[in-house]
């Protein structure tokens, strides 16, 4: 049996872990690997540096956790192929409303030097390969990457560059405009 | 009249300026603004730090030079509207062969903190506004941004993340696959 107090403590731990991951994502998106300290991440997350070590072991292990593309990719791909173009856009824009973008972290590969190899490998294995496995016909891998290129660029303009029209546009308008091109790439019927 | 020796010296100066700009682009793409020194840029360019100061004045002015989107955008947009989808892709892939990408530097806005405002403004004024002015019909600004999102994402996957298929694909294949979606956005006939 789980007592309420145990639940409460587990809840707190979960909140702290999430806060650390969020702070770490922010740090790894903005600074080169070498410039980042666990102390600064702890301060941003409102926890102590020893707690970060307790939960994640080391800066390297925390980076490994943050460099993973996980459940968010399940949600992105959770639609039958004929609807996948629209679904990908809706799921991405949903994620933006929760102040997340499931793809954007790979854009920061350049600033992490040799550590970015992991980021690139994860993107290839956990994102490109999964979308690619859904597609049939010629150039499936290339088509998967071209779809991801559009979604990634959308995230960069919307969440990093904040260009005007894309930031205020109604979601349905973005979906209506982009879905045909994405679906064309997904279907591969050129 | 210009003597051969004057020509020679002007040629050298041009080469040095170009080397400094290339080194500065590399630095501003990989490190946060505060971490960059003119000394390091000079070393990377194979010139002296005083020469960097002589040509560009200060780190701020060098950043301003590097944050500009210039002639490269003229080349990108140099086609009539009905062919612009294909042309944009060809021009971007041409630029990649010269190890340049005319759009990608805006993706590094996040790491330059307050200095990135200039990068974002330039992208808005020198890239988005120029493409937008070529388009007619509803949502022209949004459509321009969505086209640029795709091109930007293409550059990030091809030149930063180096995903496999996109890096080795034949140019014509990329153009054939992406042009219909881009042209659909440029035409605005939804």
User: What is the domain partition of chain A in residue ranges?
Assistant: 4-62, 70-187
Which among B146, B165, B174 is the nearest to A141, CB-wise?
Answer: B165
Does the CB of B88 have a partner CB in chain A at under 8 Å? no
Give the model confidence (pLDDT) of A22-62 as tens digits: 999 888 887 888 889 999 999 999 999 999 999 999 999 99
Which among B106, B124, B164 is the nearest to A164, CB-wise?
Answer: B124
Query: Whole-angstrom Cα distance, residue A47 to residue A180?
Result: 46
Quick one: pLDDT band at residue A7, thresholds 50, 70, 90? very low
Contact pairs from chain A to chain B, CB under 8 Å: 165
Q: Is it true that domain A70-187 has CATH number 1.10.357.10?
A: yes
Residue A60 CB coordination number (10 Å) = 12
pTM metric for this prediction: 0.88
Query: Whole-angstrom Cα distance, residue B127 to residue B146?
Result: 12
Distances (CA, A) of B28 to A89, A123, B11, B20, B170: 31, 24, 26, 12, 30
Question: Are A138 and A188 contacting, i.e. CB atoms less than 8 angstroms apart?
Answer: yes
Q: Do the domains at A4-62 and A70-187 have one common CATH topology?
A: no
Query: Whole-angstrom Cα distance, residue B111 to residue B127?
Result: 20
Q: Chain A, 149-168: which have a CB under 8 Å from a chain B CB? A: 149-154, 156-157, 160-166
Query: Whole-angstrom Cα distance, residue B105 to residue A107?
Result: 11
Question: Are B25 and B4 contacting, i.e. CB atoms less than 8 angstroms apart?
Answer: no
Quick one: pLDDT band at residue A180, thresholds 50, 70, 90? very high
Instruction: Give ∠ CA B66-B69-B73 in degrees, rounded to 5.
Output: 145
State the CATH architecture for A4-62: Orthogonal Bundle (1.10)
């Amino acid at each position: 049996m789980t007592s309420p107090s145990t639940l409460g403590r587990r809840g707190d731990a979960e909140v702290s872990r999430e806060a650390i991951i969020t702070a770490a994502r922010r740090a790894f998106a903005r600074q080169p690997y070498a410039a980042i300290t666990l102390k600064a991440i702890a301060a941003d997350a409102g926890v102590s540096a020893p707690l970060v070590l307790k939960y994640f072991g080391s800066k390297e292990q925390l980076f490994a956790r943050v460099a993973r593309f996980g459940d968010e990719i399940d949600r992105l791909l959770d639609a039958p192929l004929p609807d996948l173009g629209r679904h990908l856009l809706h799921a991405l824009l949903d994620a933006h409303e929760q102040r997340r973008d499931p793809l954007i972290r790979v854009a920061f590969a350049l600033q992490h030097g040799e550590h970015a190899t992991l980021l690139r490998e994860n993107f290839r294995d956990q994102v490109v390969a999964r979308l690619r496995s859904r597609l049939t016909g010629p150039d499936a891998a290339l088509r998967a990457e071209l779809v991801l290129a559009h979604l990634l660029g959308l995230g960069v303009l919307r969440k990093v560059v904040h260009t005007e029209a894309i930031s205020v546009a109604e979601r349905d308008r973005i979906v209506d405009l982009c879905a045909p091109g994405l679906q064309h790439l997904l279907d591969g019927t050129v």
